[in-house]
Structure 1
Amino acid sequence: MSIPLRAAGAVLIAALLSGCGASAAREDAASSAGGRFGAALAAGDYRAACALLAPETRDEVEEDAKGPCGPALRELGLPPSGPARGVDVYGRDALLRTAGDTLFLSQFDDGWKVTAAGCVPQSTDEPYRCSLKGG
């Protein structure tokens, strides 16, 4: 699976249009949400990890597995994320690079949620390839 180019491109376009990055508080919030997701996976707390997924992403996980999110997420075998190495936040979207993974997040009314994980960059003209992604 790969996250659509438009999602990765939207972050880049927003960055170019905004002319500046996000505030440190927004970067910290996105990074923290990604860290909580990685910690939940590392602890085997798939219920908590599922609660940190964006609604469309959770729906797609359950639809693909034809079952509940928790067991489906466990079966994906996402890589351990480890410590954050960098976050880019533009508008309501974020790209979080960790020691072991790349995650995409979006900001919702109730906070930052993971929209894609297990992402590997392809060539510069190609989208990220993600093991977990939303519609």
Structure 2
Amino acid sequence: MSLSLRAGGALLLAALLCGCGASAAREDGASLAGRRFAAALAAHDYRAGCELLAPETRDEVEQDAQGPCGPALRELGLPAAGPVRGVEVYGRDALLRTAGDVLFLSQFGSGWRVTAAGCVAQGEDEPYRCALKGG
């Protein structure tokens, strides 16, 4: 085998391992975290839902409610998520679209965490408005 074929094969292997594989793993991780959050809310397990929030988001929920996260999360009345429609990952941030909601997530050392939920698009060039969000 010639040196150029070996080098080309090595580059192809490196691209597959670093490119698509890493992106798919991040998409899967963000999607799983969002589905776990939605399942916790659907099961009325607000304590588990709070554990899946990003630290800033959880702090914001507790500050706004002037109380613990679980009851505050329940009071937000977030929409039922339903099936996942798509996930987009941008570095360490992700947007997860479901049949009934849009969630934003960020990747932390401990895994993906929800930073915003109950989000509605305001327009093509406008930011989302979210019922649950961090500072």
Same fold (TM over 0.5): yes
What is aligned with 1:87?
Answer: 87
Task: Quote the Cα distance in structure 1 between the aligned partners of 2:92 and 2:51.
Answer: 19
Which residue of structure 2 aligns with residue 48 of structure 1? 48
TM-score, with length taken from structure 2: 0.83
- Partners of 2:65 and 2:81 lie apart in 1 by 23
Q: CA–CA distance in 1 between the matches of 2:127 and 2:67?
A: 28
2:87 aligned partner, one-letter code: V
Within the alignment, does 1:70 sit opposite 2:70 as a pair?
yes
Cα deviation digits, residues 82-133 of structure 1 (max 9, x gap): 1110000011000000010000000000000000000000111211010000
5+ long unaligned stretches in structure 1? 1-19
Q: What is the identity, as a one-letter code, of the residue corresponding to 2:116? A: A
SS in structure 2 of the partner of residue 125 of structure 1: coil
Give the TM-score normalised by the residue count of structure 1.
0.83
Partner in structure 2 of residue 61 of structure 1: 61
Greater C-alpha Rg: 2
User: Which residue identity is paired with 1:120?
Assistant: V
CA distances 1:8-47 after superposition (whole Å, capped 9, x unpaired):
xxxxxxxxxxxx8x61111011000000000000000000
Aligned-residue RMSD, C-alpha: 1.6
Q: In the alignment, which residue of structure 2 is the partner of 1:6? A: none
Q: Where does structure 1 differ by over 6 angstroms across 4 or more consecutive aligned residues?
A: none
Compare the two structures and name the one with the higher helix fraction: 2
Distance 2:133 2:103 in 1: 10
- Counterpart in 2 of 1:104? 104
Task: Give the total of aligned pairs.
Answer: 117
